[in-house]
Amino acid sequence: MSQELRVVQKSGNSKAPVALRPRPIERVCPLDLRALAPVASATAAEVSQAVAKARVAQDAWRRLPFADRASALKRAAKSLLERRFEALELVRDEMGKLEIEGLFNEGLGPVDFMNGWIGVIKAHGQRQSIRLNPLAFPGKSASIDLVPRGVIGVIAPWNFPIAGLYRALFPALLTGNGVVIKPSEYTPLSSAWLAEVLATALPDGLIQVVHGDGAVGQALLGAGIDACVFTGSPRAGQAVALRCAELGIPSSLEMGGKDAAIVLADCDLDRTVAGVTHWALSNVGQSCGALEIAYVEAHIADEFVARLAKTWPKLRMGPEDYADIGPLANRKQFAIVQAHVADALAKGATLVCGGQATGQGLFFQPTVLDNCTEAMAVVSEETFGPVLAVVRVEGAADAIRRINQGKYGLGASIWTTDFDRAERLAERLDVGVVDVNNHSFTGAIAPLPWSGTRGTGFGVANSHHALGVYTRPRALVIDRNTAPEPFWMPFDRTLWQMGQALSEAQLFDVRNAWKLPYLMQKRVATVRKFFGK
């Protein structure tokens, strides 16, 4: 369609029309820059229709017993695993993710993750009985149900276009919601494949996909969804949070990370070098939980850096089977990585290895920068690439101070053989996730919260702590009494005396406690007489 479509976006108390121009999404394969088939962007009408379809399907889905929903989704998760080679082909084309890495971080996890979420909801999402004081609330019982919010909008990133959606889709669907996904415009078909496979086991229309850029995400927010889960940049996340606040719907936001490793002098250096390498370069560093900074105690820093200088150039790059490092996912991210490395070198960092594009596709050499400072973007901003900034520190306290003053607060890791000390240090870190002698893998464990502080945002993924965005609590109280309550109207002096006796009883002054049964019976008789025939 050539005409301009318009959606309404509130700005303060005013309504500002925002243009939504449907157009094909142009894409290239990061491996060799060949053009990929364009994907049509959704119109405003299509976004609204997607939400409406999901809402119709959700009404029946939410009425199913949890066991039936769980059974359907377990079948869907099994299908995802069985069809994993389709997923690997899509993520290779759309973001250059090599097969062996795609297998581990996109293909292997659905069954385990689904089972984890089923366990979380069995333990924390079922009806909860509340104990009531039998003296204050005689004849009454109470419980809390978590009920689905309705239709959840999911605005997804490109770095884990399949597995990254498990964290939102699995709990949203298990708790009885419908879902509308707005995938990244860089990886639309990978995320759409996930929705397609899930849909084979679900009611027609329950899970919907709308393609496009930020304007389509903006349209989704205004199309009547009941909550939003967002993963992406701080700038976009802040806009989502403001819009959700205007609309009065809950949101869960993850807006980046700048994770750091604290490398202490007593660490097992063999394991530490291997672990820091893996978590700095996994997914080509394109992960919110990637290790981007190593705060290394000064008197082991030379040896630590020498180990990296020896091993990182040996890592294999390229599109070949079993290569270690693939390309960056898109030109925009490629430019950011180049700019951060150039900025660090201009400001005095030492280039240990890498630092250059290979000239093939969007490949960039694994890069170690030593003697980095907070004045450099590789320390202060999210790089999201195969770059590790080494900052030499005097000790753990210095490293913790720097981490806690940073822009982001997603995760950090402590590398040491003194586990008691590590636990004490972890308590001082103002981040959402702390690992000791490992990093980042906890994001794949459904019962463990994945969250952050400061610029990372206030959203929580995984664990029962995340259920608030997918459900709302509903209290149920049943009163089995046939007699009226003694505190009901009409009011009189006897009610005043009863209230005073109850107050004294709560203060353990029992001198007038003997009067309570008499006063209550008298009050019940008064209310009955007043309202009786």
Is 16 part of any domain? no
pLDDT by position in tens, the chain (length 533): 223 233 333 333 333 334 455 567 789 999 999 999 999 999 999 999 999 999 999 999 999 999 999 999 999 999 999 999 999 999 999 999 999 999 999 999 999 999 999 999 999 999 999 999 987 899 999 999 999 999 999 999 999 999 999 999 999 999 999 999 999 999 999 999 999 999 999 999 999 999 999 999 999 999 999 999 999 999 999 999 999 999 999 999 999 999 999 999 999 999 999 999 999 999 999 999 999 999 999 999 999 999 999 999 999 999 998 999 999 999 999 999 999 999 999 999 999 999 999 999 999 999 999 999 999 999 999 999 999 999 999 999 999 999 999 999 999 999 999 999 999 999 999 999 999 999 999 999 999 999 999 999 989 999 999 999 999 999 999 999 999 999 999 999 999 999 999 999 889 988 888 999 999 999 999 999 999 97
Strand partners, 208: 180
Q: Return the H-helix or E-strand segment holding 302.
A: helix 298-311
Instruction: Give me the DSSP letters along 182-207.
Output: E--TTSHHHHHHHHHHHHTTS-TTSE
Annotated active-site residue 254? The verdict is: yes
Structural domain contains residue 209: yes
Burial class (CB in 10 A: 0-12, 13-18, 19+), 314: exposed
Based on the fold, state whether residues 246 and 268 are members of the same structural domain: no
One domain, residues 213 and 336:
no
* Same-domain status, 403 and 494: no
The answer as to whether 42 is a domain residue is: no
The single residue of 288, 372, 381, 382 carrying the catalytic annotation is: 288
Distance, CA of 132 to CA of 173 (rounded, Å):
32
Q: How far apart are CA 342 and CA 297, in angstroms?
A: 25
Catalytic residue among 99, 254, 292, 382: 254
Residues 431 and 346 in one domain: yes
**Quick one: pLDDT at residue 24?**
75
Do residue 336 and residue 435 come from a single domain? yes
Strand partners, 317: 325
Q: Of all helices (H) and strands (E), which one includes residue 71?
A: helix 66-82
Residues 305 and 336 in one domain: yes
Q: What is the pLDDT of residues 43-89, one digit of tens each?
A: 999 999 999 999 999 999 999 999 999 999 999 999 999 999 999 99
Residue 207 forms beta bridges with which residues? 179
In a domain, 22, yes or no: no
Residues 6+ apart with CB under 8 A from 240: 155, 217, 221, 228, 230, 251, 253
- Does 178 share its domain with 305? no
pLDDT of residue 494: 97
For residues 295 and 247, membership in a common domain is answered with: no
List the one residue out of 225, 267, 276, 279 whose CA is nearest residue 247.
Answer: 225
Domain boundary among 474, 493, 513: 474
Q: What are the structure tokens assigned to 392, written together? A: 């030499």
Domain residue limits at 291: 259-447
Taking the C-alpha atoms of residue 207 and residue 193, their distance in angstroms, rounded to an integer, is: 12
Active site residue 288: yes
* DSSP code per residue over 219-233: HHHTTT-SEEEEES-
Is residue 388 within 8 A of residue 280, CB to CB? The reply is yes
Q: Are residue 298 and residue 174 in the same domain, yes or no?
A: no
Residue 267 shares a structural domain with residue 337:
yes
Same domain, 88 and 225: yes
Please tell me whether residue 210 adopts helix, strand or coil conformation. coil
Residue 100 lies in a domain: yes
What does the pLDDT read at residue 21?
A: 57
Q: Each residue of 208-219: pLDDT tens digit?
A: 999 999 999 999
User: What's 367's domain CATH number?
Assistant: 3.40.309.10
Question: What CATH number did the domain enclosing 163 receive?
Answer: 3.40.605.10
**Same-domain pairing of 186 and 305:** no
| Structural domain total, the chain | 3
Q: Is residue 381 part of a domain?
A: yes
**Which pLDDT belongs to residue 11?**
35
* Amino acid (one-letter) located at 418: D
Residue 8, in any domain of the structure: no
Please say which residue of 433, 457, 474 terminates a domain: 474
Residue 337 domain-assigned (yes or no): yes
Q: Which of 32, 35, 5 is nearest to 18 (CA)?
A: 5
Q: What are phi and psi of 379, to 5 degrees?
A: -105, -35
